[in-house]
Amino acid sequence: MVNWLHLKIIGYDPAIVEEREEIVTANGIIEVPRLKIKKISVGDMEAENVDVIVHDIPEMAGIKGLLGLSFIKNFRTVIGFKKGFLEIT
């Protein structure tokens, strides 16, 4: 999940995107823009043509964004639930 401001800064305008996706929030089901971005990098990992949904998470949640399967499916991913880690290579 990517927020509106970050997308506007890099040249995307979620307000004019026609494709929408329904997501479930604490307040119910809402529709949010869905678009494909040319490239996204997390650390030294980079993926191209990644589908993202756009939704601003409330600041008080303490979450900067959500890394979804549309990004991590491009890499080998290990989730260590018991030890609390995510390894993407």
**Domain tally, the chain:** 1
Is 17 within 8 Å of 33 (Cβ atoms)? yes
Torsion of CA 44, 47, 51, 57, to 10 degrees: 0
Residue 39's domain comprises 4-88
d(CA 9, CA 30): 24
Nearest to 37 by CA among 12, 62, 61: 12
pLDDT for residue 34:
94
Residue 21, strand partner residues: 32
Q: Report pLDDT digits (tens) over 31-87.
A: 999 999 999 998 899 999 999 988 888 777 787 778 889 999 999 999 999 999 989
Q: What predicted TM-score, i.e. pTM, was given to this entire model?
A: 0.74
Confidence of residue 1 (pLDDT cuts 50, 70, 90): low
Structure tokens at 52: 């993202």
